[in-house]
């Protein structure tokens, strides 16, 4: 195979792993334009479309996925043989997680992992979407809030989530003494998951008839509540930064288990990933020390 063709293969592997041509170009020390040209030449050489550009970065086509699966073990072996000092794929860990969970729980602790394992490059893919491990080969694992069962994936339980009513100190002062059995009379913030209905059923309380606001994700509801919009059913993990800084305050001591829990999930191909093995061990230590 010619030297240009080998460069194209390298460009393809880096782009597939990153799911982003800009990051791949930086790693290869070439311009995005040059890398894009290489990918077009490779596709012309093979006579197949290998990748598509989308709003979420580069997506491999079925032909691209097939090529990546065939090349990955050989390319990784070449990397380890020719560049023993620069690390292998096991030294790069890419984790997918909701930005809200990452900001509230993971990032405040991540410095400890980086200090313990300076040889592992940690990449965070924070997005509201659920990563597709069958297509996004650059992602090694994910932290998910869910039922704990995803077809084809190993789900390692991390910790439970709890829910309690909370509001800004200013709103609590304005409303005066709040009775939990009369929460339905106060300004409440709704969510699309029916948590107020579950809360009222769980504690045998009257259901609210109306809400002052509704948000489609927890972080927005928490921040709105911290600004005095209304009382929110706060998720303890995600609300922790606002609680710790005093911007939110729990009302009473009642708490209800959330509908789901947090899990570390990964495909079979990541089972023996060196970086993931160390990350799992570190997570377990963090959980034993303090969850929220």
Query: What's the pLDDT tens digit per position in 129-174?
Result: 788 887 777 889 999 999 999 999 999 999 999 999 999 999 999 9
Whole-angstrom distance, CA of residue 20 vs CA of residue 216: 28
Q: What is the 3-state secondary structure (H, E, C) of the chain?
A: CCHHHHHHHHHHHHHHHHCCHHHHHHHHCCCHHHHHHHHHHHHHHHCCCCEEEECCEEEECHHHHHHHHHHHHHHHHHHHHHCCCCCCHHHEEEEEECHHHHHHHHHHHHHHHHHHCCCCEEEEEECCCCCCCCCCCCCCEEEEEECCCCCCEEEEEEEEEEEEEEECHHHHHHHCCCCHHHHHHCCEEECCCCHHHHHHHHCCCCCCCCCCEECCCHHHHHHHHHCCCCEEEEEHHHHHHHHHCCCCEECCCCCEEEEEEEEEEEEHHHCCCHHHHHHHHHHHHHHHHCCC
Q: Looking at residue 145, what is its pLDDT?
A: 94
pLDDT digits (tens, 9 = 90+) for 198-239: 999 999 999 998 999 999 889 899 999 999 999 999 999 999
pLDDT at 85 over 50: no
This prediction's pTM: 0.70
Whole-angstrom distance, CA of residue 2 vs CA of residue 197: 65
Mean pLDDT of the chain: 88
Instruction: Give me the percent of the chain exceeding a pLDDT of 90.
Output: 56
Domain boundaries, the chain: 3-82, 90-292
Least confident span in 13-17, 134-138, 272-276: 134-138
Q: Looking at residue 19, what is its pLDDT?
A: 83
pLDDT at 128 over 90: no
Q: Looking at residue 79, what is its pLDDT?
A: 63
Q: Looking at residue 76, what is its pLDDT?
A: 66
8 A C-beta contact, residue 223 and residue 100: no
| Domain topology for 3-82 | Arc Repressor Mutant, subunit A (1.10.10)
What would the CATH number be for the domain defined by 90-292?
Answer: 3.40.190.290
Burial (0-12, 13-18, 19+ Cβ within 10 Å), 259: middle
Q: Looking at residue 82, what is its pLDDT?
A: 59
Sorting pLDDT into bands at 50, 70 and 90, what band is 255? Answer: very high
Sorting pLDDT into bands at 50, 70 and 90, what band is 86? Answer: very low
């Amino acid at each position: 195979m010619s030297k240009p063709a080998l460069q194209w293969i390298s460009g393809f592997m880096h782009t597939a792993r990153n799911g982003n041509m800009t990051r791949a170009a930086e790693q290869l020390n070439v311009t995005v334009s040059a890398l894009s040209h290489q990918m077009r030449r490779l596709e012309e050489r093979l006579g197949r479309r290998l990748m598509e550009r989308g709003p979420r970065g580069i997506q491999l086509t079925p032909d691209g996925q097939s090529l990546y699966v065939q090349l990955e073990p050989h390319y990784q072996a070449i990397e380890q043989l020719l560049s023993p000092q620069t690390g292998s794929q096991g030294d790069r860990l890419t984790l997918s997680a909701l930005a809200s969970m990452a900001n509230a729980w993971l990032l405040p602790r991540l410095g400890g992992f980086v200090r313990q394992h300076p040889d592992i490059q940690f990449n965070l893919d924070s997005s509201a979407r659920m990563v597709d491990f069958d297509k996004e080969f650059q992602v090694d694992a994910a932290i998910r809030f869910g039922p704990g069962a995803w077809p084809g994936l190993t789900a390692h339980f991390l910790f439970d989530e709890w829910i309690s009513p909370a509001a800004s100190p200013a709103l609590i002062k304005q409303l005066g003494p709040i009775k939990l059995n009369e929460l339905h009379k106060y300004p409440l913030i709704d969510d699309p998951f029916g948590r107020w209905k579950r809360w009222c059923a769980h504690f045998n309380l009257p259901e609210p008839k109306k809400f002052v606001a509704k948000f489609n994700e927890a972080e927005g509801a928490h921040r709105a509540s911290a600004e005095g919009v209304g009382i929110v059913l706060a998720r303890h993990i995600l609300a922790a930064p606002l609680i710790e800084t005093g911007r939110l305050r729990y009302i009473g001591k009642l708490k209800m288990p959330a509908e789901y829990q947090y899990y570390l999930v990964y495909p079979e191909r990541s089972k023996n990933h060196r970086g993931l093995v160390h990350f799992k061990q570190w997570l377990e230590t963090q959980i034993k020390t303090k969850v929220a």
